[in-house]
Amino acid sequence: MRQPLPAHSAGLGLRRALLDQLIEAPAGAFDFLECAPDNWIGVGGVLGDKLATLASRHPLSGHGLSLSLGGPDPLDTTFLRQTRDFLARHQVVAYSEHLSYCSASGHLYDLLPIPFTEAAVRHVAGRIAQVQDALGQRIAIENVSYYAAPFQAMGEIAFIEAVLGEADCDLLLDVNNVYVNAINHGYDPRAFVDAMPSARIASIHVAGHYDEADDLKIDTHGAAVKDAVWDLLGHAYQRHGVRPTLLERDFNLPPLPVLLAEVQRIRDLQARFR
């Protein structure tokens, strides 16, 4: 039976380039792994066997990329069935998706922001409810980074709270996305974190970004986590309590010991706020 992740747990993103290193990693180097089912559904052979090996050894969480919760196209019911099968087969302990959209009469290959309107709340909340019914489990939605703000009839905080309430789902709080948006759009990242509903926060993501300019940050997941983001993670723990927290790194992957040092930094922060 799948058990929820302990609050004081620190995980690492499962990337194909890391498969062999993760299999050989010392015991206790991380508490869980997170993968995108989208990238693994239908994958067999050597890669599929390695994934199964890791899933048998470590708790696995799932983070979707292509459901397009805010998009105009009908939900892909075939893909939802495949996702449900994947989650069951690998005993995935939790599943999340982005509060964004990535398709409109075809895949757009990016995570695009949803207009902050009452109509959008109803639209995306209804689709989240459909997903939860199809998967047979509660999901979490992640606050996303964005650079152009579409029409906003309400603030981002009110929009997120409204979606969470109407869909009755959880929140994956990405503190790097909060920091990037705060710099790019001129608001206080700590005040944003403070406003998030504690009872809805199921887990947290932390990642690195690129400093394009003092007032422009790019969410790349391709660099080490910045000190300001570590500080914001600590603030989130202080305000909401410790949650399972994942280190995301997608590109420019360093040697595994470098990533594990960042995982240990998560653990150190969690211990400080125990």
CATH number at residue 149: 3.20.20.150
Helices 118-135/77-89 angle, 10° precision: 50
Mean of the pLDDT values across residues 180-206?
A: 97
pTM, rounded to two decimals: 0.95
Domain extent, residue 117, equals: 10-272
Among 251, 190, 203, which Cα is nearest to 224's? 251
Least confident of 89-93, 104-108, 153-157: 104-108
Any residues with CB less than 8 A from the CB of 148 and at least 6 apart, and which? 113
C-beta separation of 171 from 196 below 8 A: yes
Answer whether residue 105 shows pLDDT above 50.
no
State the pairing for strand pair 210-213/216-218. Answer: antiparallel
* Per-residue model confidence as pLDDT tens digits over 5-56: 999 999 999 999 999 999 999 999 999 999 999 999 999 999 999 999 999 9
Mean of the pLDDT values across residues 182-191?
A: 96
- Please count the helices (runs of H) and the strands (runs of E) in the chain: 9, 12
Domain count, the chain: 1
Greater confidence, 149 or 122? 122
Angstrom distance (rounded) from CA 26 to CA 220: 28
The reported pLDDT for the residue numbered 106 is 54
Query: Do the domain assignments include residue 2?
Result: no
The reported pLDDT for the residue numbered 133 is 97
The reported pLDDT for the residue numbered 150 is 74
Mean of the pLDDT values across residues 131-143?
A: 96
The reported pLDDT for the residue numbered 102 is 58
The reported pLDDT for the residue numbered 219 is 86
C-beta separation of 153 from 188 below 8 A: no
Greater confidence, 230 or 110? 230
The reported pLDDT for the residue numbered 35 is 97
**CA distance to 14, 30, 208, per residue, from 113 (Å):** 25, 32, 20
Please give the mean pLDDT across all residues of the chain.
Answer: 92
Query: Do the domain assignments include residue 27?
Result: yes
Query: Do the domain assignments include residue 105?
Result: yes
Angstrom distance (rounded) from CA 223 to CA 40: 24
Give residue 103's pLDDT band: very low, low, confident or very high (50, 70, 90): very low
Query: Do the domain assignments include residue 206?
Result: yes
SS3 142: strand
Mean of the pLDDT values across residues 112-126?
A: 89
Percent of the chain residues past pLDDT 70, beyond the cut: 95
Query: Do the domain assignments include residue 244?
Result: yes
